Amino acid sequence: MNKLSENWITEHTLDFEYKKYVLLAWLQNVEQHFKMIQLYPSLGELVNHYRNACGLRNGKLNLENNFPKEIKGIDREKFRLMTEPVLQNDQIMQDIEKILDFSIPRFENSLKGGTELYDEVESGIEVFPIGITPIYKNEGYVLLRESTNNTRVYQYQVSIFESAESKWRALRTAFVSNHTNSFTVTYESIKTDLIHTNETLPNPAVFAAESRKPIPVDETFLPLVKRLLIRRIAA
């Protein structure tokens, strides 16, 4: 099982034993990815499922708290009305609550392991500029030292999105080329080749990224470098 549906809690059936099987099988798959230091897409999916489960629980509580209540009597000792919700916690709501009570702590446990792995891997990654960095840094190149023998080149572009509440950045990358490392093939020589090849970027921002430990490029290295690079450019 490689993917957990966004609506896994409510779709098909609310049978608790079946939902336990579905969730535990998916979480086992996530743990296998973490053991191979493959953070994405598993970590992002884990965060989304945890948020959805918490949102479903909060929505249920808000519905129950805000639903009209029927007056059942008066508590004369405490001088207040005794009420009872018109909405009853029927079998469907009880089944959903049981699934949420089981799933949320397990999401939290897997998230704890995933975020600890994320922090450990990120702390071993260094991103640094090659040559003089121009004022305009929202477009350029990032060089990933994949191994002692190979460097991957990606062109990047930063997009800025704004809303009434906040502004955030997203970084898109496109693979450009592979380079075999040698005494003559250096970060500086790669940068020079890129400038000669792409005339639309005559003075590009170029950054290199290195990891102390070998890590999967597509599932971990590149996604983490993109986040680090956004923070660096924003700063």
Contact 150, 179 (CB under 8 A): yes
Q: Amino acid identity, residue 97?
A: E
pTM of this prediction?
0.81
- Tell me phi and psi for residue 27, to 5 degrees: -65, -35
Beta carbons within 8 Å of 59's beta carbon, 6+ residues apart: none
Tokens 């230091």, residue located = 37
Other beta carbons within 10 Å of 226: 19
* CA distances, 181 to each of 55, 85, 95, 120, 150 (Å): 49, 70, 58, 27, 5
Going residue by residue through the chain (235 aa), what tens digit of pLDDT does each one get? 578 999 898 888 889 999 999 999 999 999 999 999 999 999 999 999 999 999 888 877 655 554 455 556 566 566 565 666 555 556 778 888 899 999 999 999 999 999 999 999 999 999 999 999 999 999 999 999 987 789 999 999 998 766 555 567 889 999 999 999 888 999 999 999 999 999 899 999 999 999 999 999 999 999 999 999 999 988 7
Domain layout of the chain by residue ranges:
16-123, 126-234
